[in-house]
Amino acid sequence: MKATPLELPGLLLLDPVRHGDARGFFSEVWSRRALAAIGLEIDFVQDNHAHSAEAGVLRGLHFQRPPSAQGKLIRVARGAILDVVVDLRQGSPGYGKAATVELSAANWRQLWVPRGFAHGYLTLEPDTEVLYKTDAYYDRAADAGILWNDPALGIDWPVAAPILSEKDRAAPRLADIPPPFPPGSW
Ligand SMILES: Cc1cn([C@H]2C[C@H](O)[C@@H](COP(=O)(O)OP(=O)(O)O[C@H]3O[C@@H](C)C(=O)[C@@H](O)[C@H]3O)O2)c(=O)[nH]c1=O
């Protein structure tokens, strides 16, 4: 498993091996041993699977407040997404900065997002299926979000009018919420 650190500390782009043959392919999409070998020892507790029917669906930017913060290991089994994360860890050199990466069934890449980030994605193709593992359970009371196009984040979304949930349409800007991950919480 190749692991490439991205510009925000803790973010890792992973390239699992895909063994192709005449039948199709085989791939170990998650292995505790392979992740431990690159220094990631994570106890995942939940697997999520989301289908988006259309290109232009934007989900995010979401996080769960501590102590229910979640690390996420994200991949795409069908279609493609622009995956976006924002570092919300106060005191991190990346605080308030965003990173974007394309994940697709074609490139077979995965993104490891540690606790302390907001996460969102835009589907680039219809019928896109996103799968991700989390290291903490869903906690509806801790569920929170930041407005996808908060100008302070400077995210270069390739779409002006995405398809959003009502919740995401009404999300606050980062400057309008108490810092979700103060020093000591991450
Ligand atoms: C996230 C989640 C949602 N739900 C429920 C709540 C709601 O009724 C329904 C849809 O929830 P949402 O609208 O929040 O789904 P969605 O907008 O897809 O939310 C997801 O977005 C991406 C970007 C993430 O990073 C995830 O952590 C998660 O926040 O599913 C669960 O039961 N368990 C979960 O873990």
| Level-2 CATH architecture, domain 2-176 | Sandwich (2.60)
Distance separating alpha carbons of residues 104 and 81, to the nearest angstrom: 6
Give me the average pLDDT of each 10-residue run along the chain (186 residues). 94 97 98 95 97 98 97 98 98 96 98 98 98 98 98 96 98 96 92
- Residue 100 φ/ψ, nearest 5 degrees: -130, 145
Centre of ligand 1 to C-alpha 22, Å, is 37
Give SS3 for 152. Answer: helix
Question: How do the domains of the chain map onto residue ranges?
Answer: 2-176
Give SS3 for 160. Answer: coil
- ipTM for the assembly: 0.98
Distance separating alpha carbons of residues 142 and 155, to the nearest angstrom: 24
Question: What's the pTM value of the predicted model, to 2 decimals?
Answer: 0.97
Centre of ligand 1 to C-alpha 50, Å, is 8
3-state helix, strand, coil in the chain (%, to 5): 10, 40, 50
